Chains A and B, each alone.
Chain A
Amino acid sequence: MLNFKLLEYSLSSLWRRKEKNLALVVVYALVIATLGSVLLLTHALKTEAVMTLTASPEIVVQRMLGGRHELIPIDYAQTIAEFPGVGKVTPRVWGYYYDSLVKANLTLVGLAGYHEQLELLAGRFPQAPDEGVIGAGVADAFGPQIGDLLVLEDSSKRRTEFHVSGIFRSQSNLLTNDLVVLQEGALRDFFGIPDGFATDLTVQVFNPREIDTIARKIAYFLPDSRPITRDELLHTYDSLFNWRSGMMLAVFMSALMAFLILAWDRATGISAEEKREIGILKALGWETSHILGAKLREALLISLTAFIVGLLLAWLHVFVLGAPVLMPLLKGWSVLFPTFDLPRVIDLYQLAILGFVTIVPYLACTLIPAWKAASSDPDDVMRG
């Protein structure tokens, strides 16, 4: 099938018109890089989210009041713990804190449920009400190291000082980047959460196949509660990222369309020199199908080159530069994510989509112009 002499002919033919073809490859590669960045970035974010969520509890139970999320009474935990198959039920006390100085959102967590899963980079967990452990992102944004002071304003706008006793490291950066862990009592004082209430409950379930049944039981016995299973969270994240990347893809598809029109135009307007070349080839005994084949081989070479270059550009943009162009659009609305390394994963499926969306239309688009060029009459062409 593959004839190297013919391939060589196509390559030299491309090289003879290098300015024109190079311009085409550059634009094509940029289009592929844009679309590729979207796909690579969303896939990386999805992987990161999944990594985060696999460490999360099997079920989280919230209380709903008037359709809004409310504090949950801690004695609900007792009811849930009595269901067969349920392991530990842990009330969590946590909340968000917006710091107007560094313009960042922090997550403040009371020391109860979290510290088993989290690894400390340095230091120790808080042992006094005025001690706290912070995530690496917080350390970067505020600048304190172990032993320094972290100053936050509590619910009644009073200045509260915490000694930093440790800094987090975790397998997944998203989980601990904006985290501040305090002792539970200190956090209750800070937010003004009354005793006997928690933000939500985490429920451990031993057998993964019982998760749905237990969630259903919780909703039956505690009608004002909303159990959220880990799988549901995963689905929701999955759909969310799919939707976002699909949205972006649809937007950038217009760039692809513009490029295709350019490619069509380029392929249609062949120069007089090229026409003569085709005439000579035909006079030498080439058939229409041979010339058509040569033209299409050229198109394939161009699109493969552009695909590889574009993919490399996308990879550099996303994994080396950290996707500065797309990150704000895709990541969400949280403010404090100064650096977080995306997991460098490339999925074959994403490549298949990218190839299907970019190479297929280009080939389809050059078909008719190539045929028009190939079917010209040698006699007409050579006479000019």
Chain B
Amino acid sequence: MILHPGILALLFGSTLILLMLLVAGGVALRIVRYWNADSGSATQLQLERQTWLVSTLLKYAFGFQIISVLLFLFTLEEIHPLFVGAMCATGSLNANLVGWLVLLVKIALVFAAAVWLAINYLDQRTEDTPLVRLKYRLLLLLIPVVGLDLWLQWEYFSGLRPQMITSCCGSLFSAEGEGVISTLAGLPIEQAMPLFFIVVTLYAVVLLANLRWRFVALRHLLFVAAVLLFFVSLAALVSFLSLYIYQMPSHQCPFDMLQGHYYYIGYPIYAGLFMATLFAMLPGLCRPLATTSSLERELECCEPMWLRLALFGLILFLLSSCWQMLFGPLRLLGY
């Protein structure tokens, strides 16, 4: 079912992103081979100019990739009525399990592109740009992932078989097996809730400690806490936060909250979680890279900003996801 407008748009967009990255990759190859910061030759001058092209290409590709993730989720939501037993986007993903891989790759790409842009930002602020080679090697690694994203999307959408009336009989007899599960089974609430709040508290404490002190070990601890926060929060969203948001003890979909009938509450939730994870990971990630004094100086400048952004993300995430839990009428515990 490739000929669906949303699917066409997604495939078209991913092809475009791949093309942009291929252009950037061509430049990257040349830079990795010929870059010589001490030289004043024409080649070097040209390469230095081309770094602007690459960083702009990447910025746009990153922006497009974020939109593409959202469009992917919207499309899943849109096509779910075509599958027997599917109640929401989760059902569409279950209709062809490659869909989960697509989602995974897309999210990984968004994180990878954001980290790349952060490293690039750091590098371009210094005079001597010591990270050039590393950065462009990383870029070359991104290209196959973008290609994989496109290929997996194609596999997913071309593997979908919508339930239609055929000439011989109604469709439901061809899909007799109850193969499609439309809810995600989450962790039991009694365990998920304490785990979530312990991790959030741990993260918040480490984050505040980072804002106060500058020990390298603290940065690394924050990195670990951020990764932990990301996965535990996703599990919590499926397990109990979604129940509060939908006010229904059986609805565990992490995607429906992006829809209009839940007042688009999913956007601040996921944006907050993304910010809290990304900006808390950056100081820990960039620390080992700060080998020169110029980089160290710039990192010292950037870190407080990143940490504050992470704190803002955490507050946004907690406010938007736990609001209903505290003030909504639904009570899950205590009975």
Contact = CB atoms under 8 A, between A and B. Distances in A.
Contact of B165 (A232, A353, A374): A232
B8 interface: yes
A276 B172 CA distance: 69
B159 interface: no
B162 A246 contact: no
B24 to A, nearest CB: 10
B8 A250 contact: yes
Main SS class of interface, B: helix
B146 to A, nearest CB: 14
Interface in A205-245: 212, 215-216, 219, 226-229, 232-236, 238-239, 242-243, 245
Contacts of A39: 5
Which one of A228, A356, A367, A368 has the greatest number of beta carbons of chain B within 10 Å? A356
B294 to A, nearest CB: 19
Interface in A182-208: none
Contacts of A107: none
Contacts of A360: 13, 16, 64, 67
Interface string A32-63: 00000011001000000000000000000000
B4 A243 contact: yes
Interface in B170-224: 170-173
A238 B81 CA distance: 9
B173 A353 contact: no
Contacts of A292: 52, 56
Given A219-B169, A360-B64, A235 B78 contact: no
B74 A352 contact: yes
A320 B261 CA distance: 29
B181 to A, nearest CB: 17
Contact of A239 (B52, B71, B162, B260): B162
Contacts of A64: 168
A356 B82 contact: no
Contacts of B3: 242-243, 246-247, 250
Contacts of B1: 239, 242-243
Interface string B51-78: 0110011001000100110110010001
B134 interface: no
A227 B170 contact: yes
Given A243-B3, A356-B13, A356-B67, A215 B52 contact: no
A242 B170 contact: no
Contact of A349 (B13, B74, B82): B74
Contact of A235 (B10, B20, B57, B171): B171
Given A243-B3, A368-B53, A352 B60 contact: no
Interface residues of B, number: 45
A80 to B, nearest CB: 15
Contacts of B60: 363-364, 367
A350 B8 CA distance: 12
A307 B70 CA distance: 20
Contact of B164 (A38, A239, A374): A239
B166 to A, nearest CB: 10
A349 B78 contact: yes
B53 A371 contact: yes
**Chain A CB within 10 A, most for which of B5, B50, B82, B162:** B5
Contacts of A289: 52
Contacts of B9: 353, 356-357
Given A288-B49, A288-B52, A229 B4 contact: no
Contacts of B163: 232, 235
Contacts of A212: 172
Nearest to A256: B12
Given A42-B5, A363-B60, 19 more contacts: A38-B5, A64-B168, A67-B168, A226-B168, A228-B170, A232-B170, A243-B1, A243-B4, A246-B7, A246-B8, A253-B8, A292-B56, A353-B6, A353-B9, A356-B9, A356-B10, A356-B68, A364-B64, A367-B56
Interface of A: 38-39, 42, 64, 67, 212, 215-216, 219, 226-229, 232-236, 238-239, 242-243, 245-247, 249-250, 253, 288-289, 292, 296, 348-350, 352-353, 356-357, 360-361, 363-364, 367-368, 371, 374-375
The 10 closest A-B pairs by CB, nearest first: A246-B3, A375-B49, A371-B53, A242-B4, A353-B9, A357-B9, A356-B9, A236-B165, A236-B164, A246-B4
30 contacts: A38-B5, A42-B5, A215-B172, A226-B168, A234-B81, A236-B164, A236-B165, A238-B82, A239-B162, A239-B164, A242-B3, A242-B4, A242-B5, A243-B4, A246-B2, A249-B8, A250-B8, A289-B52, A292-B52, A296-B56, A353-B9, A353-B71, A356-B13, A356-B71, A360-B67, A361-B16, A367-B20, A367-B60, A375-B52, A375-B53
